[in-house]
Structure 1
């Protein structure tokens, strides 16, 4: 086993008290995440950031009223990959968040970034959402298509990683999709339950747990045996 820790989107805009898309309890995760970052059993440590252009398709303010209410309304988006433009998905609209080169896109100072080996900036394509640190909403991984700054799957594979442990926010969106894509990419995928928080507490995590376990992703604890055995 060779394990990687992926710290997902621990950014100012996702954290109380001032984040524009704040997830309850997100900032309180920092001590647990830092403890995991310091664990000698992780061979690779990655941090992801949403890093959107101001004209991003998911921002409610970029669409006309009345069908532009954040959390409630959605928009149709098309696959940006050449030759696949007819493939579409519905995208939930969000408040403006994690805009490139703004303080809201910064990882919170409580996270020990000195341990990070790779920073993945994602969601930079204006016309497609990218929750997962591996791929956009259509499964595209090529940085030339999705405007992510690196191919995470190749980075981990090149370093012999077998197991991926995912933490951060939000458990029912970016953490979930990162863990699902890790499993699709052939890694043993795990989500550390006490090191993640959800946009929708309670029901959001329950639904995420169902999807994750159905895909073979294991739900673990930071003090559980799965992490204790890492050396």
Structure 2
């Protein structure tokens, strides 16, 4: 067994362990940290497959941005863990059935294997066999030409998700300055200004003793 096979088994074992701990961790923050570990091991597997662009993208995008955002959101939401555990066994049969179904599908695909792809040989000096070939450049040209519209849609979805995450962190917080537009629309002038009737008061005249004391001062 060469060193690449050893690294493959090491990264795969850590990936499976981290994925298992994501769904079994009792603390949501610990689950997010294990998910970050799983993504890092998946990026290492991509590097072993010589897919440097996918590995670097997984580290920069998911570990460097998305998962850090998830971690801060989970920490700021102050989730009630005891409330989340209620009804666990009620939904456990459905969750176990779906998990077994997904596992059976994965086993069936792996058992059947993947058919060998027939690729026509490239011309000398062109294609994958070219000395100046770069998969990152080819992926960039493909993403921003043929798949430009899906990339823009994905960017809009990520923007909406980021705004929703920020809105969730400001929900039901005592120091939040958020306003309800519905209440502002239905406001009435009588709710903002209240006229309280008061009896007229007259300034009292100073007594003789008080005037004498003021003269002494």
> TM-score by structure 2 length?
0.18
The structure that is strand-richer by fraction is 1
Structure with larger RCO (C-alpha < 8 A, sep 6+): 1
> TM-score by structure 1 length?
0.17
